[in-house]
A = this chain, B = another copy of it.
């Protein structure tokens, strides 16, 4: 009973199923069969629409990234002042959604993939550049020329804190992460006015 216009539906179903399965496995050791089954179709169909396993993974990564991007954009377009913009970025970066098991697993494996798969590396560069740009714009009114450097550090700090929070012993707590990064921000802003 093939209905027409199935392609986008199947593709998104596969992408979502892929993220879930990566979360379950904690790695990319996920078979096309598992993904297809969870998405409610045959393995052959998954191959038909994506052409191969790697393409499925990349589509899933793109999806994760676009979700995060949307969250940041959404948070940014509401608030006004530069300081509030920074907080909005932090809030979006450490939102509970980003600490779900599937998302954490996707990110970690994304890093692994970025070593060898050019597509993944490009995607990662896009994410980092966007974060850098957002942070720099928000920082510029506060610290002027020092903005790019601080933004770089801030971006790295966000990644590092995320890593530790996600792999830490207890349940991930976004608030603790935000608090920690805000303390760094306070130090940098203070330095600007003090020196």
Residues of A within 8 A of B (CB): 25-28, 101, 104-105, 108-109, 111-116, 121, 124-125, 128, 149, 152-153, 155-161, 163-164, 167, 169, 180-181, 183-184, 186-188, 190-191, 194-195
A-B contact pairs, 21 of them (CB 8 A): A26-B112, A27-B112, A104-B115, A105-B115, A108-B111, A108-B112, A109-B112, A115-B167, A125-B169, A128-B164, A149-B180, A149-B183, A156-B157, A156-B163, A157-B157, A159-B160, A160-B163, A186-B191, A187-B187, A187-B188, A190-B195
Known: A104-B115, A188-B187, A191-B190. A156 touches B164 (CB 8 A): yes
Interface of A is mostly: helix
Residues from chain B with a CB closer than 8 A to the CB of A27 are: 28, 112-113, 115-116
Residues in B with CB closer than 8 Å to A164 are: 128, 155-156, 159
Q: Which residues of B contact A180 (CB under 8 A)?
A: 149, 152-153, 156
